[in-house]
Chains A and B, each alone.
Chain A
Amino acid sequence: MSADLLLEIGSEEIPDWMIPGALDHLAKQAAELVKHGGPVHVDATPRRLVVRVLGLDAEQSLVTYERGPKTSAPAGAVAGFARKWGVEPDALTRIETPNGEVFAHRRKLDLAQMLTRWIETIPFPKTMYWTGKNGPRFIRPIRWIVALLGDEVIPFEIAGVKSGNLTNGHRRLGASNVPVTVANYEAKLRGNFVILSADERKKKIQSEIHATIKPDAGLLETLVYLTEYPTPIAGEFDPSYLDLPEEVLVTVMRHHQKYFSVVDANGKLANQFVAVMNIDADREGLVKRGNERVLRARFNDARFFWNQDQHKKLADRVQDLANVTFQAKLGSYLEKTKRVVELVAHLGGDTHAQRAALLSKADLTTELVKEFTELQGVVGGRYAEVQGEPQEVAVAIYDQYKPVSMEDSIPRTQAGQIVSIADKLDTLNGCFSVGLIPTGSKDPFALRRAAQGIVKILVEGKLRLPVRKFLSPDVEPFVLDRIRYYFRDVRGFKYDEVNAILASGWDDLVDVEERMAAIQAVRSTPDFEPLAASFKRIQNILKQAKFDGAGRSIDPMLIEHGPEADLHIAFVATKLEVITQDYREALESIAALRPKVDLFFDKVLVNAPDERIRQNRLTLLHSLLAEFSTIADFSEIVTSS
C-alpha cells in the first residue's frame, strides 16, 4: 500500500540565503526514507519548507532491521540483544550481511518522530528561541505544520504547533487556514498567490522583465527566495544621476535596493531599474512611485557625499587614517599604510605603485565609503582620477582589493598588482603575528582569500617576485597550502605533479607554473613514470646507505665498462643538454635516461665488495638525483606500477 507524503513547515520569513541549505538537508533525510518510494520533491518560499514524496510505501519504508550478533554467536549474546529490544530470542529474524548471517530485530519506525527529527536537525547558521528560555530553536518561529500521509494527518507537535492539514496563502493576497490534500496542495497555494516552485518563480521573473538588465544570477536567486509571488516592475530615475560613477549607482541599486540595473543598446547604464515585488501587479503605480522615491533619496545622498568628499583630497586624508582602526592589536590604517608603502618599494614597485600604496586606504575616511563600504578602493580610484593623480596611480588604487574571488580578475596593471600583493602580505603577516589564524570555517579577516589572491596575481600576472622572502615563517605553510589548492583545484593539475613540482621549490610561482606545464606534458610519455619509479628506487638506496653525497665527486677511473659507464656518459651528456633546454625538453631528455638507468640496476651491483667502487656508484646515483630534481622531485610522482 503506497501513499503520498506531504510535509510543510510554515515559518515566519526565513532568510533567503539559508533556504537552499535547509532544502538540501530535508532532501537527504527524505531520500533515506524513499528507498521504497517514488521521487522526492523539496520546495520552499520564504514562509515554508516543503517535502513531498510520491508513492511512498510506508509499510516497507518504515521497517528497519536493527542488527545484532552473528547467528553463530553464543546464546547469551543473542539473548542479551533480544532483551535490549524487549523481545524473545525466538522473535528475532536472520538476515544476510557482507560479514555473514546475523540476528536482527525487525521494527517499525514512527513516521511522526521521524518528521520531527527532520525539522529539528535542519542546520541553520543562526537560530533563535521564541517560546521562552530553553525552548526549541529554529531559524524563525514555526507557525504551522502540514503533515499528511495520503488522507491522514501525521500527528505531532513542535514548539506548541500541532501538525494538521491547514496551510496559509500569501500574507495579503491569499487566505489563511486553507485545508489541503497532498494532491491539491500546490494548486491551492497557487490559488492563494503562492508559487511553490522556486524554478517557476525564477522563470516568472525572467519572462516578465522586458528591459535589458545586467545579468545577475545571485540577485535573481535572492529575489526568488524573498518572494512568494514575484512580479517585476520597471522604474526610472533622473538621467542627471548618470554623472555619478556607474559603480556607485549599481551598488545602490543592487546591494541596497535589490534592483537590477538596466543597460541601453550600447551596453551603457540607462536611467532605469527593475524591482521585483511580492505581489501580483502595481495597478495604480504606487510601488513604482515608492521605489523611485527611495532611489532618488539614495542617489541624492551619494551625490551629496561625492561633492562633500571633494573638499579634502586623498593626499590630505592620509594622516586622518591614524583614527581608523585596522585591527585592535595591529594599530591604525595609517600604520598599515606605512608598512605597505615600504613593502611595495621592497617588491620593486615604481613611484606610481608607491604613490598608490600611500593613498590606497585614504578613501576609508570619505563619506561615500562610510556609506557604501563595499566600494572601498573603487571610490579611492575614482577620486584619485578627478583629483589629478596619474592614471597609473588611480587604476592601482581602484584595483587594490582584486581579486575578490577565484573568479574575479587580477589588478589590470603591474603597479596595481604589486600594491594588492603588498596589502595582502601585510594583512597575512600581521594577523598571524597576533594569533588571528583561520581555523576550520572561521576566517573573519578573509586570510584565505588574501593568500589565494597573492597566488593568483603572481601566477596570472606573470610576476617573478620573491614574495616568499616576505612571508613570516608561520605564514609560509598557509600560503603553500593555497598554492597547492590553486594549481590542483583551480588549474586542474594532478596532486602528485603539484607535490613533485613544489618539492623542488616555489620561490618563483611563474617558474612553478612553467614546470607544472612541462611535467603535465611529458607525464604521458612512456619513459616518464618508469623513470619516476627508478628515481624513487635511487632515493631508497641512498637512504638505506645513509649516503648524503657531501663533498664527493664521481671518479671516472672507478667506473666499470658496460652499463655503468653508459649511464655515466648519458648522465654527463644530459646534464649539458638540459642547460640550453626549456623545462619540457629537459624533462624529455631526463626521461630518455630511463633505459640506461634500468640496465644499470639490472646488471650492476651498487653494493660492490670494493668500498671505493661502492661509494663511487652511490655518488653517481646521488648526482643523478640531485642534478635532475631541480625541476621536480620525481619521487613524489605516484606511479601505477
Chain B
Amino acid sequence: MDTYQDIIFKLKRYWADRGCVIQEPFDMEVGAGTMAPETFLRVLGPKPYRVAYVQPSRRPADGRYGENPNRLYKHQQLQVILKPAPEDVIEQYLGSLEAIGIDLRKHDLKLEEDNWESPTLGAWGVGWQVMLDGLEITQFTYFQQCGGIDLDLVPAELTYGLERLTAFLQVRDSVYDIAWTKDVTYADVRFQDELQYSVYNFEMAEVATLWKLFDLHEGEAARLIVLFKKSPDKQRFPLLPTYDHVLKCSHLFNTLDARGAISVTERVGVIARVRKLAVGVAEAWVEAAA
C-alpha cells in the first residue's frame, strides 16, 4: 500500500516526466492552488508553461475542529497546469491515476460537467469533476479567462484532492486515518492545525484587527497598481509582491467570513474590491510581458 507521501512522489514524478516544472508550494495563505502566481499569472500571456505543485489550501469556513472525517480547514491539492493543453490531456491524466495504482478497467470513471468560476479572481473555465467509483477526485478545467482577460493559450488545470484520493486508495473512512508514512498518520501530522485554526477562525480572530489588516493590504496593492501605470520600466516593476497583497486580502476576507463578520450588504462589495485588485494585477502582468 502506498503511503500519502508515496502517492505525492509518484504523481510529481509522473508530471515531471511530462515536462512539468515541479514547484514547491506557494509560501502564503491561498484558498486554492489556482490562486498561487504559478497558476494565476502564468496562465496569462502567450508563453507555454507546464508546472505541478502541491498547494496547501486554506478555507477557514470549512474548519471542523478536526472532528469531521472529511472536512478540513486546510487540505492539500496537487495542482497541474499544462499550457497549452495537449490533445491527449485526458489520456495523460488517466495515466497519472494508473501511475498510482488505479486499474481503470476495474473502476468506474466518469467525467461529469462542472464549470469553474472564481468571482474574486475574475476567472472562469469549463470542465468536469472526475468521479471515481462515485468519489470526486479531481477538478479538470480548461481556463477561458483569468483576471477578466481572454487567455491566449488555453491551459488545462488538474486539481487533485490528495487526501480524498489517498483515503480512497488506502480504503480509509476518515482522512485522519490516512497513513502519511508507514508509521505516521495524517492526524499525527495535521490534527493540531485543524483544531487550533478552527478555534482561532471561529472564536478568537479579532474582527477589527482583521479589517485593519485587510485595509492595509488593499491600500498597498492599490498604491502599487497606480505606480505601475506610471512606471517607465515595467519589466522590473514588483508585480509579484503586489499580487501577494491581493492574496492577503483574499485570505483575510475568507477569515472574516468564517468569523461571521461580513454582513449581507458588505459581502458583494468586498468581493468586488478584491476582484478589482486581482484584475488590476492581471492586466499589468500582461502589459509588462508585452
Interface residues, chain A, with chain B CB atoms under 8 Å away: 12-13, 15-17, 46, 126, 128-133, 140-141, 143, 171-173, 226-227, 257, 259, 275, 277-279, 282-284, 286-287, 289-291, 293-297, 300-301, 304, 322-325, 328, 331-332
Contact = CB atoms under 8 A, between A and B. Distances in A.
B133 A290 contact: yes
A286 B106 contact: yes
A13 B111 contact: yes
B257 to A, nearest CB: 11
Contacts of A131: 154
B76 to A, nearest CB: 18
A300 B69 contact: yes
Contact of B90 (A12, A132, A296): A12
B94 A171 contact: yes
Contacts of A278: 108-110
A215 B168 CA distance: 30
A226 B171 contact: no
Contacts of B69: 297, 300
* Most chain A Cβ neighbours within 10 Å, of B70, B109, B133: B133
A227 B112 CA distance: 10
A291 B165 CA distance: 14
A12 B151 CA distance: 20
A99 to B, nearest CB: 48
A275 B264 contact: no
A131 B142 CA distance: 11
A294 B265 CA distance: 37
A289 B171 contact: yes
A186 to B, nearest CB: 23
Contacts of B192: none
A12 B134 CA distance: 20
B108 A277 contact: yes
B106 A284 contact: yes
A130 B70 contact: no
Contacts of A133: 150-153
Interface of B: 68-71, 84-85, 87, 90, 94, 104-113, 115, 125-126, 128, 132-135, 142, 144, 150-154, 168, 171, 173, 260, 263-265, 267-268
Contact of B111 (A46, A290, A324, A325): A46
B134 A257 contact: yes
A172 B134 contact: no
B108 A287 contact: yes
Contacts of B87: 141, 143
A172 B133 contact: no
Nearest to A333: B264
Nearest to B144: A128
A279 B173 contact: no
Given A278-B109, A279-B107, A293-B171, 11 more contacts: A12-B90, A12-B111, A128-B126, A132-B152, A140-B126, A226-B110, A226-B112, A294-B134, A297-B70, A322-B263, A323-B264
Contacts of B171: 289, 293
Nearest to B143: A128
Nearest to B156: A130
A290 B113 contact: no
Contacts of A13: 111, 113, 128
14 contacts: A13-B113, A128-B126, A171-B109, A172-B109, A259-B134, A277-B108, A278-B110, A279-B107, A286-B133, A290-B108, A291-B108, A291-B134, A294-B134, A325-B264
A323 B260 contact: yes
A330 B68 CA distance: 36
Nearest to B175: A297
Contact of B154 (A15, A130, A143, A293): A130
